[in-house]
């Protein structure tokens, strides 16, 4: 059994969780889907709500957007882990995942995915009729993006757009519209998040170049090389900052928003200094730590801008 699975068992025992119980399986599952990575997209759903409300959303909106985001993230990762089991089994970086080692059964993951789908649809229905009407489109991207790397190098941007839908979800929960001229800022923020996520996914995919090439997967680094991917990542993050500023100008936001954008730019510069074509040892720091800080920084900036 893989080392990660053994560590999960030891951690579970330390917390009084017996392997084979529901509590143990739930813990393994949350580790499998990297539930803590919800912090990437969730702040942008809150930003969508805050900017749509020009202040604080209602408690009802806050609670159900949070539930919807958690359900969407869980659904997407569950499908991803099931879809990629064969690839994960032959990738040195992922071969210890619970779906590969057998620490959690595929049927269990599928049931969690089904429950997450139901919860997402219920949350959408409770938020707004338009949210429910557009939910199938969101589900299409949440489920479909896992398969895009099989046939296109655009998979990084499909993932980015999928995460960016968080902004639209938060905006619609408050405004109940998504196609009026006043909704342009939401689309600009969707563009921003699309380029942000794609940019750091390009960095993350540099770890799997040899695996992706051997399996015929179409990640950009595998097709065009690590150096090309890192250059393109920088261009994507420049576009991210440009869309952020445009959204702020469209809404005539106050100075805290731009202060957060400036700090975000500095964090991105540092993120890109952590990796190079010859040294990818700090990819995980660049991926998780820096991007968590960026998401929370921009949320603080949006809150500050509407409350000043």
C-alpha torsion sign, points 172, 175, 180, 182: negative
- Is residue 292 included in any domain, yes or no? yes
Question: Would the pLDDT of 8 be above 60?
Answer: no
Alpha-carbon distance of 249 to 192, in angstroms, equals 14
Tell me the HSE value of 151 on the side-chain side, using a 13 A CA sphere: 4
pLDDT at position 283: 84
- Tokens describing residue 280: 């990818």
- Is residue 184 included in any domain, yes or no? yes
Pick the more confident residue, 102 or 192: 192
Q: Name the pLDDT band for 20 (thresholds 50, 70, 90).
A: low
Number of domains in the chain: 1
- Is residue 262 included in any domain, yes or no? yes
Helix (H) / strand (E) containing 212: helix 209-215
- Is residue 6 included in any domain, yes or no? no
Alpha-carbon distance of 39 to 293, in angstroms, equals 9
- Is residue 13 included in any domain, yes or no? no
pLDDT at position 7: 46
- Is residue 2 included in any domain, yes or no? no
Cα–Cα distances in angstroms (integers) from residue 52 to residues 14, 128, 169, 218, in the given order = 45, 14, 11, 37
Question: What's the rounded mean pLDDT across residues 248-272?
Answer: 96
pLDDT at position 10: 46
Question: What's the rounded mean pLDDT across residues 169-197?
Answer: 95
What's the CATH code of the domain at 94? 1.10.357.140
Specify the range with the lowest mean pLDDT, choosing from 65-74, 218-227, 285-294.
285-294
pLDDT at position 3: 47
279: β partners: 276
- Tokens describing residue 127: 């938020």
pLDDT at position 26: 65
Full residue range of the structural domain in which residue 124 is found: 21-307
Q: Name the pLDDT band for 5 (thresholds 50, 70, 90).
A: very low
Q: Is 235 helix (H, G, I), strand (E, B) or coil?
A: helix
What is the per-residue pLDDT across 58-108, written as a single tens digit (0 to 9) for each? 999 999 999 999 899 889 988 998 999 999 999 988 888 888 887 778 888
Pick the more confident residue, 16 or 297: 297
Please provide the DSSP assignment of 47-111 as one string.
Answer: HHHHHHHTSPPPHHHHHHHHHHHHHHHHHHHHHHHHHTHHHHHT-TTTTTSHHHHTSS-HHHHHH
Alpha-carbon distance of 297 to 260, in angstroms, equals 6
- Is residue 109 included in any domain, yes or no? yes
pLDDT at position 66: 94
Question: Would the pLDDT of 36 be above 60?
Answer: no
100: β partners: none
- Is residue 43 included in any domain, yes or no? yes
Q: Name the pLDDT band for 24 (thresholds 50, 70, 90).
A: low
pLDDT at position 21: 66
Backbone angles phi, psi at 279, to 5 degrees: -150, 105
- Tokens describing residue 99: 């779906």
pLDDT at position 146: 92
What is the per-residue pLDDT across 103-162, written as a single tens digit (0 to 9) for each? 778 888 898 899 999 999 999 999 999 999 999 999 999 999 999 999 999 999 999 999
Q: In terms of pTM, does the model score above 0.75?
A: yes
């Amino acid at each position: 059994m893989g080392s990660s699975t053994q560590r999960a068992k030891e951690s579970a025992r330390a917390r009084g969780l017996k392997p084979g119980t529901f509590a143990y399986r739930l813990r393994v599952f949350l580790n499998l889907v990297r539930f803590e990575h919800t912090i990437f997209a969730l702040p942008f759903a809150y930003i969508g709500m805050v900017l749509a409300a020009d202040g604080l959303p209602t408690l009802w909106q806050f609670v159900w957007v949070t539930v919807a985001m958690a359900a969407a993230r869980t659904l997407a990762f569950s499908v991803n882990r099931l879809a990629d089991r064969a690839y994960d089994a032959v990738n040195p970086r992922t071969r210890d995942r619970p779906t590969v080692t057998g620490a959690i059964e595929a049927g269990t993951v599928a049931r969690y995915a089904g429950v997450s789908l139901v919860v997402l649809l219920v949350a959408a229905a409770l938020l707004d009729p338009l949210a429910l009407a557009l939910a199938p489109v969101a589900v299409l991207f949440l489920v479909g993006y896992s398969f895009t790397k099989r046939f296109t190098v655009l998979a990084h941007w499909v993932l980015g757009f999928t995460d960016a839908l968080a902004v639209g979800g938060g905006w619609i929960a408050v405004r109940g519209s998504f196609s009026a001229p006043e909704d342009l800022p939401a689309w600009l923020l969707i563009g921003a998040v699309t380029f942000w996520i794609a940019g750091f996914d390009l960095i993350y995919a540099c770890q799997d170049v040899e695996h992706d090439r051997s399996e015929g997967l179409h990640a950009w680094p595998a097709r065009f090389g690590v150096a090309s991917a890192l250059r393109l990542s920088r261009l994507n993050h420049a576009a991210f900052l440009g869309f952020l500023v445009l959204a702020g100008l469209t809404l005539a936001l106050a100075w805290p928003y731009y202060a957060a954008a400036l700090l975000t730019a500095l964090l991105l510069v540092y993120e890109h200094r952590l990796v190079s074509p010859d040294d990818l040892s700090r990819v995980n720091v660049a991926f998780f730590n820096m991007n968590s800080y960026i998401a929370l920084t921009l949320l603080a900036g949006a809150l500050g801008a509407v409350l000043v």
